[in-house]
Each structure stands twice: as structure tokens, then as C-alpha cells.
Amino acid sequence: MRLRLWVAQTNVVVSMVHLELLYKPAAISRGKPDGRLVVVSNRVPLPSSSVAPAAGGLAVALQAVLKPRGGLWFGWSGKTSEESGPAAQCRTFGSLTYAVCDLSRRDVEQYYHGFANRALWPICHYRLDLADLSECNAAGYFRVNEQFARQLHEMLRPDDMIWVHDYHFIPMARVLRELGCVNRIGFFMHIPWPGPEVASALPAYQRILRSFGAYDVVGFQTQSDADNFRDCIVSANAGRVASGDWCEIDGRRMQVSAFPIGIDSEAFAQEARAAEKNSTVKRMLASLDGRDLVIGVDRLDYSKGLKQRMAAFATFLERSPQAARARVTMLQITPKSRSEVPEYARLQRDLEEEAGRINGKLGDVDWTPLRYINKSMSRSALAGLYRIARIGLVTPLRDGMNLVAKEYVAAQAPDNPGVLVLSQFAGAAQELKSALIVNPYDVEATAAAIARAFTMPLDERKDRWHGMMAALRANSVQDWASRFLQALANEAESGEFDRALDEARFPGSGGLDRLSAIGAAPRRAPLFVFDQPGAESQIERAQFRKVRPVSLVSSIARVPAPGHSFAGVLQHHLTLVP
């Protein structure tokens, strides 16, 4: 499709400017695209011949992306080996290949338990007091990234598109570039990114920031995280913010944007409906004996605000005689994690003591107010438990997104939905604005929100639920993946475009035909090419820019008011890519 727009230029003399739009459909092609998608994550859900790949969270999202197009999923096996740099183990299921590598005990201790989980994780969650600033662990982190990158590089094909996930592999692209990789590489940060006053506490801070510059697209969960990252680049003199979402590090341009992750809300709602027959859900209902349920589901982590949440629930019971008489019960499901890290072992002891204190003070022979368990639940069981819970408590002290909040909303019965109490410091609060938003550090305010949720009329609960479901449907996990991969693919042919543009300056070179072909290719966002009037030919002495639309393209077709230049109109409606 080709569209020609004429826009008046109002300077001292009004002249006409040729503007040609080479348009590509906004959505990613549903056909099998050229090249593989290569996904890199710390842990890979390696299936067996008799067991389906692990379901839940990020695994479901990435499998949904990889399955229709095929690809490679690369990462750590989760196992240790005595060998030095053992070869990757590959297994293929249909069109998807899984490739995993073992690590030595030293690598696991320094890269995973050390730098990733005792430096990057606490600092990115604003817990400088818990950070271990070890140069030895930092060296191990970069060493393991180089080791993984070298193994991945041997598997890459020229037309692969690479998508790296999370804080474990920030330096991955830098090493791949040094090895000669010219593929498109994107990075998505699932956890928060703090401002420079916090992030600068990271060991090897400059090296980490500059490692981001090797990516073509860097995605964050929220706009605040993306803005914090840009501030870090500028304050550390590691690069510059160009315009719009575009930044430059060490002379290399990259897109930095927010891509909030979603869930498949319809599939999860269906799972919740079917889970009424789940044995765990049935046993829970029988044990409640008609009492209202408050639920929290979190991996054991100090960022989740679990101690403050327990205290808020206890305060709610103490200040609400009606709830105490009704024997409202809270179920906190908290699987253990990172038990080798001392901070997590201490947290486990603290939570056990807090749960015991609350039950000892408020419980009775036939009522345990707080049921605290450290075991994982199946996806089906969780969906059913969410559905029967009158209140969902999702109150992290800091979180990139928090999909539990979205799953709780999706699981609710439309005719009798529960109420979500959500931390203002979770990325999900930017989308689920109809939740009861709380400051999780304020125990009394959180207790008051629980009390409000407990007494909320049905009509208000329905209104709030409908508002949140609309937000979930507008941003599914498929939408998230499509938006990121579209951004990564948008400039995938930029080198081809530049070469065609150079050749087009010479008659008979075929450059003009190649420019038209690029514009007609699938998966491309609108690409604008315009030239100045008075050129001797269509291309000679032309001034070209590629621009990415951020609002309706049709809005630039209006003639600008007197005193507004054509460039001003473009800058108002579009983000210019330098």
C-alpha cells in the first residue's frame, strides 16, 4: 500500500513538500516469518518426551511466541557440572529447540547467588541495605555472561532475531557484538530499574550501563522504569537521550520503551471456572465452612512486603469486630526461593514467627486466622483459590509488574467479583487503576483498605472489576510480545534501507525499487521518506529521515497554521529518529 500526503510548508514563502509514506501493517505477520526467534533466559523449562513444558508466567508467554514460528530457547539448565564450560545440551520438540548449559559451582555462587541475587536484585528493588558489593561476584557475573554468549554465538544464524530476558544477562549482547554478531538483539527487564541515585550503587555500574548499548531495543515494565534508565545514562555520561524513545550509548542508537507484560485473561478465567472441581479448591472451601477468604500468593522474597501484609491483616481483624466475628481467614501461599542466600533464610524465620504471633494472639481452637504455607500450587489450584477469595492482597514494596494481581482479577466470577488491594509500587498499579491502591509501608492504611474491601457493595465491586478486566483485555500477553517484537523488527532492515538509499542517488542502480520493496515488506511500521523541493531528481541531494509515528498518521495531513513550519508539524506528531 502506498499513500501520498501533501502538506503545506509555511515559512516566509509557502512551498509544497513531497511526503511519501511506505506503509507496513502494524501487526506482526501471522505467517511464518523469515529467521528464527532466539529467546535467552536464565532458566529454561526443558521438557521431556513425556512431560509438557512447564506452564505459568513467563514460560507460557514465551512458548506462545515461539511455538507458531519456531525458534531456539537458550539458557541455564539449573544444574551444576564439574566440567569447565560444558557444551550446550540441545533437544528439539516440533519447531522449537531448547538449548541449556550447566554451570560450575563457582559460577553459580558468583553469577547467580552472588551478583544477580545479592547485588542486582536488591539494588533494583531499592534495598541498598541488603546489597553485597563484591568485585569477585561482579567478575563472575561478566565471566558467565561471556561463557553463555560464546556458546550461543555458535548456534546463531545470520537472520536470527534475539530476545534476551532479565537482569541475569545484561552483558550478553555486548559479548555477542564483540564476537561479530550483527543480528537484531532486544532486551526486556522484568524487574524495576531505579533512578541514578540508587542504581549508581551497583558494582561495575558504568560497565553495566554501557552493556545496554549493544541492544537494539531495551524494554521495561513501566514508563517510570524507562525514564529512570534514561536518567542513568545521562547522569553517568554513558550516553545521551536523542529524541522520543531513542537513546545513544557509545555511538550506537537504541530504542528504550515501556512494554508492560500482560496475561491471557480469557484463558485464565476459563481455568478458574474449571478449577471448581480441583481437589485443593474443594478442600479449601470445606475447611472455610462459609468464612470469607483473603489470599496472597508470592514467592518468598523481601521485596514482596509479606511481613507488613501480615501485620495489616492482623490490624484489620483487631479493628473490625464484624470481621473477627465472621472469622475472616487469610491464606498466604509463599513457596521458598533462594534458600542459599542468607537474607532469604532470615526472612523465612521472621515470617514464621510473625504468623505464629498473629495466630497465637487472635486465633481460637477452631479458627486459624492466618494460614501460612511454603509450598507451590498448580496453576489450576491457584486459579480456583483466587476465584473463591473475597479479597486479593498484592502489596509488594517494589515490583516490576506482578502478574498475581492480573491473575486474581481474571479469575473472578463476573456476578460476584472479589476486590483487589494493590500496592502503588507494583507496575500493575499503572494499569489496574480500579483496584484499591495502597502504600504497603503504611500498615494502618492497608488495614483500612482491607476493611473497605470487606464491606464493599456488590455494585461497586462489579464496576471496579469491569474496569480492570477492560485493562487486561487491552494488553494481553500476546499483545506484549507482539509490541516488543514489532519494535525489534521495525529497524531490522535499517541497514538495507540505508544501502538502498545510498544506491538510489545513482541512476539505474535499482535503489528506488529496493526502497519501494522495503516499504511493502511485512511487519514494518509506517516509514516516512521525504525530500526537499528543488532537487535535480527524486533522490539527488535529498535530505532523508526515518520517523516513527506516535499518534494517528492522518493528523499530519492537515495544513499547519501560519507560523508553524512543516518540521514543527512533524515534531509535534511524530518522534524523529536521528
Determine phi and psi for 74, rounding to 5 degrees. Answer: -120, 140
Among the options 102, 225, 245, 399, which is catalytic? 399
The grid coordinates of residue 144 equal 558467565
Query: What distance in Å separates the CA atoms of residue 248 and residue 397, rounded to the nearest whole number?
Result: 32
* DSSP label at residue 367: B
Closest CA to 480 of 215, 258, 170, 225: 258
Q: Which residues of 252-291 are buried (b: 16+ CB within 10 A; e: fewer)?
A: ebbbbbbbbbbbbbeebbebbeebeebeebeebeeeeeee
3-state DSSP call for residue 169? Answer: helix
C-alpha cell at 126: 531499592
292, 387 Cβ separation under 8 angstroms: no
User: What's the chain's length in residues?
Assistant: 578
Query: How far is it, in rounded angstroms, from Cα 130 to Cα 117?
Result: 10
User: Cα–Cα distance between 567 and 549 in angstroms, integer?
Assistant: 14
Q: Is 231 a catalytic residue?
A: no
Q: Which residue, 295, 453, 484, is CA-closest to 387?
A: 295
| Residue 470: burial class (beta carbons within 10 Å; 0-12, 13-18, 19+) | exposed
190: annotated active-site residue: yes
Q: Which one of 190, 225, 245, 298 is the catalytic residue? A: 190
Instruction: Give me the active site residues, please.
Output: 190, 399
